[in-house]
Chain A
Amino acid sequence: MQNLMNRNQFPPLLAPGLRHIFVQFTDLKEHAPQYPHYMNEMTSEDAYEILYELSGTGPMPLMPEGTRPAADGIIQGGTKKVVHLQYGLLSEATRQLIADEKYGIIRKMPESHARSGLFGREAVCCSLFNLGTTLTTTNGVSLFNTAQPLMGGAAATSISPNISTIINSAGTYPNRPNPDTDLTMTSLQQMIVMFALQPDDRGIPTHVKPKFLVHSPFQRRNVRELLGSPGVPGSSNNELNWVQAENLVGLELNYLTTPNGWGLIADKSGHQLDFFEREPLMAQTDDDFKTQVLMFLSTQRFGVVALTWRGTAFSYGA
């Protein structure tokens, strides 16, 4: 870490004559923000936000003539308390370096901080996938789990049609293959079916449709073949590539840390991966009066949370 920058560290900047300086924080093209593609962005004015989940009522049963109806209410799920965390970066340069430096590089520190700040946002948002076996949602288990406990318990999975071969245990529904699989036509088909049969927590089927196929650059070829080939990739049987009709869009994330991980997420209205902007990236500069060191400080504060596993599914690769 290069904290205090002084003239001794950058002697070429002190003399004229450099034809070109390749400055990575300005000359290397930065990725456009990726998290806005898949995070629901909101603002906050509080230290934290509390999110809550409630079920609906169960299916309406027969009410024979002259008998009282069955009664049912909704069930509360858990809450998620999203504490907005502060991120910050300080760079310090001596006033002599600022004054003597001929190319105006050091005074552009806030531009470098902007890249650093964006990385922080992207990495934290992407941690929902990277740490999806650790981070929990309102039901208390990990975001991606082979057995998401339903509020309706075993009654929900016994009522919901056609899911007996999908679930791994009564009263739960998966949003992660068991075991994890690499991305193939077969595993993609299974995850799409897992999505399509997803009931609510009382066992009533829901209309939830995947929109994005999330993947790392390692899977670029694989994804383009699966989503773009007119026929089933790797097959000589002239089968129609049925996946095209799903209208999935590949979402390549540069901040995934799992090379073979892949998953499906619904459009923003179909999932609850939330980003709360508490304080935007702010650049400040100040002098230390005694030492004459110029300080560049950039801070931001935000919260990231997965309220529920709904509308998401992920596999970490075989």
Chain B
Amino acid sequence: MANVAFADPIEPYWDTGGAISFPMNYGAEEHGSSFLYGYPLQVIAADGGVGIWSGTVGAGNLILGIAAQNAQNLGTTGAGAPVGFSPITSYGSVVGNYLANGTQSAAYISPPMTPISDGYTYWFVAAPTTVFRARIGSSSGGTNPVATAITQRGAPYGLTQDAVNSYWFVDTNKSNSVTVVGFDPLDSIGTTGGHVLFVFNPATAVGDFA
């Protein structure tokens, strides 16, 4: 079966603790990262940067949470992050910089309207109280959407990256990282690739290492 693009960004949906917002955290972004908003993230053991989750479940690959912004493709891990009480230590953005002249090899022009970069990436913490929302599909025979069904509530599933558009979805072909706890009321039950609500299994996620 051919792959069908259907996944979209995973997002926090509500907080079971009753708070009106979702716990967030931040950390030095792994260099060269290209993840998008809504991707699951983990600590990259080699240098402690925060990058895209490997897809492997368990120790050494615990999920920090879901990316709250696109990656910035930093040249070095955490490039420009403030050092204690300091300003941002780089150009303030990493997109579109170009050399200013021929005699100052490190002088760059930073164009306006490019995204601000402070060297950090931010994520919605995979906390036990945060319920996330994602589309549901299966990695069996390619990555394709499946229909929501009330029997999915309480079922253990996994997360897989859409082979076409690269977003992540709740994968009924796995049972190792998330538990479906409900359904997005905007998608009627039976919707193919509809949004389900889920929480991360404690053994899968860091929760909050702040």
Q: A81-B110, A127-B86 are in contact. Are A153 and B103 (CB under 8 A)?
A: yes
Contact size range, A: 35 or more
Q: List 24 A-B contacts (CB under 8 A).
A: A47-B116, A77-B100, A77-B101, A77-B107, A78-B106, A78-B107, A79-B108, A79-B109, A80-B91, A81-B92, A81-B93, A82-B87, A131-B86, A134-B86, A135-B86, A135-B87, A135-B89, A138-B100, A138-B107, A140-B106, A140-B108, A149-B107, A151-B101, A151-B103
> Is B45 located at the chain interface by the 8 A CB criterion?
no
> Is B2 located at the chain interface by the 8 A CB criterion?
no
Point out which of B83, B87, B110 has the most chain A C-beta atoms below 10 A from its C-beta.
B87
> Is B88 located at the chain interface by the 8 A CB criterion?
yes
> Is A120 located at the chain interface by the 8 A CB criterion?
yes
CB distance from A87 to the nearest CB of B (A): 9
Q: A50-B110, A50-B112, A140-B107 are in contact. Are A83 and B101 (CB under 8 A)?
A: no
Q: Which residue of B lies closest to A140 (CB)?
A: B106
For the complex, what is the distance from the CA of A85 to the CA of B105, rounded to whole Å? 28
Q: A83-B118, A123-B85, A134-B83 are in contact. Are A139 and B104 (CB under 8 A)?
A: yes
> Number of B residues contacting the other chain (C-beta, 8 Å)?
27
> Is A152 located at the chain interface by the 8 A CB criterion?
yes
A85 adjacent to B18 (CB under 8 Å): no
B85 adjacent to A124 (CB under 8 Å): yes
Cβ contacts under 8 Å, B75 to chain A: none
> Is B102 located at the chain interface by the 8 A CB criterion?
yes
Cβ contacts under 8 Å, A50 to chain B: 110, 112
CB-contacts of A129-158 with B (<8 A):
130-131, 134-136, 138-141, 149-153
B104 adjacent to A77 (CB under 8 Å): yes
> Is B82 located at the chain interface by the 8 A CB criterion?
yes
For the complex, what is the distance from the CA of A177 to the CA of B23, rounded to whole Å? 48
Cβ contacts under 8 Å, B89 to chain A: 131, 134-136
What is the 8 Å Cβ interface bit string for chain B, positions 84-128, against chain A (1 contact, 0 not)? 111111111100000011111111111010001010000000000
Point out which of A50, A79, A138 has the most chain B C-beta atoms below 10 A from its C-beta.
A79
B101 adjacent to A75 (CB under 8 Å): yes
Known: A76-B109, A138-B107, A139-B106. 8 other contacts (CB 8 A): A78-B106, A79-B110, A82-B92, A135-B86, A141-B104, A149-B106, A151-B103, A153-B103
> Is A171 located at the chain interface by the 8 A CB criterion?
yes
